[in-house]
Chains A and B, each alone.
Chain A
């Protein structure tokens, strides 16, 4: 009876294949410095329709993943807004992405902190996952070619923005 070991072998191979597929399909992703950042459409936090990072091609974009329930996000929001007011131009903007959050809570957060930069929604956290984000807040500076130039896990401060982000914008280099 050689069929029995063959069937057992095939069953084990199928099981391992299934587990492998599961791990690959749900495994970690991420974008490294110099790689093109994910730029697919996302719903807008305010109003209907969608927006995307691709709309800002040709500009520097500081992508800020945040959530209303995130305490450090509250601490960095004023610094980001201040930076946006100072540096917003046809060649730069901050782009907020409210992730894994209730849209109503996110909208209240934006009003509360008077955030003027554009906001998108990433309800299931998939976009944050594609960026390789493991929490909030996280910030990614995208160059005019759409490539990741700088990544910061955790909240940014006014000092960080001044010393690490502003020089890149001024230099225009990627």
Chain B
């Protein structure tokens, strides 16, 4: 019985350690490259204004409380609104930040495909096989024969 109780106690003691191990620790460096300093209009990691320092202190405080990356970002959004996130939102005009590259890629791929098709069509229908090496012209053959005749090998 004592062994069982001791085992349960050890397991309970280990649980917080296990749960914290499951959550990768986040650092200020991880966060400040993904959020903005809304007042400065730059990434938080590039800003060193008093406002940015307060925002960094806010993030450090949340890290100290064991908050996850997502929870910290949510807290920043609650404070400053969605524009604090460095990534544009997937709605409204900001959606174009995602759509324009996709549309551009699709257009480029289509243009490439059309170009390749036209290039192949312009080359004419493929022959029965690869053309063999062309022989020398009659003039060259005559000169070759004359040269060879001069050498008695």
Residues of A within 8 A of B (CB): 11, 18, 21-22, 25-26, 67-69, 100, 102-105, 123-126
Of B1-9, B16-24, B80-88, B132-140, the one contacting chain A is B80-88
Tell me if A123 and B78 are in contact (CB < 8 A).
yes
A102-B54, A124-B80, A126-B81 known; 11 new pairs, CB 8 Å cut-off, are A18-B96, A18-B100, A21-B93, A22-B93, A69-B54, A100-B39, A102-B58, A102-B79, A103-B79, A123-B78, A125-B81
A selection of 10 A-B contacts at a CB cut-off of 8 Å is A21-B93, A22-B96, A25-B92, A67-B51, A100-B80, A102-B54, A104-B58, A124-B80, A124-B82, A125-B38
Chain A residue with Cβ nearest B103 = A14
- In the bound complex, how far is the Cα of B100 from the Cα of A30, in angstroms? 30
Chain A residues positioned under 8 Å from B50 (CB to CB): 69
Residues of B within 8 A of A (CB): 38-39, 50-51, 54-55, 58, 78-84, 92-93, 96, 100, 107
Q: Which secondary structure dominates where chain B touches chain A?
A: helix
Chain A residues positioned under 8 Å from B107 (CB to CB): 11
CB A139 to nearest CB in B, in angstroms, measures 19
Tell me if B93 and A25 are in contact (CB < 8 A).
yes
Chain A residues positioned under 8 Å from B84 (CB to CB): 124
Chain B residue with Cβ nearest A122 = B81
- In the bound complex, how far is the Cα of B57 from the Cα of A68, in angstroms? 14
- In the bound complex, how far is the Cα of B51 from the Cα of A103, in angstroms? 13
Most buried by A among B51, B78, B82: B51
**Known A69-B51, A102-B58, A103-B79: A124·B96 in contact at CB below 8 Å:** no
Chain A residue with Cβ nearest B78 = A123
- Which 4 A/B pairs are nearest by Cβ-Cβ distance? A124-B81, A69-B51, A25-B93, A69-B50
